[in-house]
Amino acid sequence: MDVNLVNHFLEAVMNVMPQLGFSTVKKGELSIKGSDISISGVMAVVGLVGDIKGNIIYSMDFDNAKKIASQMMMGAPVLEFDEMAQSAISELSNMLTGNASNNLYQAGTSVDISTPTLIYGNEIKIKAKAEKVLCVEILVDLMKLNLNIAFE
């Protein structure tokens, strides 16, 4: 897996978040994990197939998921991670991945993306089909959004 792949996804976050009304986007830690990861909160998985094949899993804790959903819904209060909030996070992952696939295309790599699937819960373990998963932490208005990039 090409580590440069990360940049296309980072660019997507930089492009899309301001459009949704978030003011600051900062890249945090980058780490490489084995194919096993454990997360509590919300995960959105989107598949990519084309010149490269794999999945991206966006993850965030419940509080941040609610805050992000609220911001996307023009500040409407989000008290529970209900269907509206789930829909917002699903749409976010769709927008980010769509933008990333455009960036990839500009760079000569063509991929199609799938619809997102949303998973949530406590202490969920993930086994991706990839030797290594690239994890990038991004701070969006001080909220942690993680990108877990699993490509063959």
Partner 1 sequence: MKKVLIVDDSSFSRSILSDILSENGFEVVGEVDSPEDLIDTYVKLKPDIVTMDIAMPQKDGFECTEMIMRQDPNAKVIMVSSMKDDEVVKQAKRIKVAGFVQKPVDAEELVQAIQLILSREEIYTELDRIYLECFSEALENCIVKMSKTSADIVDAIFQNESRGISVISAIIGKHSGRMILDMDSKTAESLARLLYKREIDSQILQIVAEFANVVCGNAISILNRKNKNFGLRVAPPTIFYGENLSISTPEIVSKTVIAEMSFGKITLNVGFTRGDEEWM
Rounded to an integer, what distance in angstroms lies between the CA atom of residue 24 and that of residue 127?
Answer: 31
Q: Does 26 bind partner 1 (CB under 8 A)?
A: no
Name the packing angle between helices 5-19 and 83-106 (round to 10°).
130
Stretch that binds partner 1, among 23-31, 40-48, 58-66, 139-147 (CB under 8 A): 40-48
Q: Which residue has the tokens 């454990």?
A: 38
- β-bridge partners, 145: 138
Mask 41-70, x = binds partner 1 (CB under 8 A)? Answer: --x-xxxxxx--xxx-x-------------
Sign of CA dihedral 5, 102, 10, 67: negative
Q: How many residues bind partner 1 (CB under 8 A)?
A: 39
Mask 78-117, x = binds partner 1 (CB under 8 A)? Answer: -----x--xx--xx--x---x-------------xxxxxx
Q: Does 119 bind partner 1 (CB under 8 A)?
A: yes
